[in-house]
Amino acid sequence: MPTFDDFIAEIEAEARAEGPEAVAELEAFRLHFSLARQLAAQRRAQHLTQKQLAERSGIDQAEISRIERGQANPTAATLGALTGALGLDVQLVPSKAA
Domain of residue 31, CATH code: 1.10.260.40
Q: How many domains does the chain have?
A: 1
Q: Is residue 28 part of a domain?
A: yes
Task: Judge contact between 22 and 15, C-beta under 8 A.
Answer: yes
Q: What tens digit of pLDDT does each residue of 11-44 get?
A: 889 989 999 999 888 888 887 788 888 999 999 9
DSSP three-state, residue 86: coil
Report the pLDDT value the prediction gives residue 32, as an integer from 0 to 100: 73
CA distance 67 to 84: 16
Q: Is residue 96 part of a domain?
A: no
Q: Is residue 90 part of a domain?
A: no
Q: Nearest 5°: CA angle at 91, between 87 and 94?
A: 145
Q: Is residue 60 part of a domain?
A: yes
pLDDT higher than 60, residue 94 = yes
- What is the extent of the structural domain holding 64? 4-85
CA distance 48 to 2: 36
User: Buried (b) or exposed (e) across 45-58, using 16+ Cβ within 10 A?
Assistant: eeebebeebbebbe
pLDDT higher than 60, residue 98 = no
Q: What tens digit of pLDDT does each residue of 69-90 get?
A: 888 889 999 999 999 999 999 8
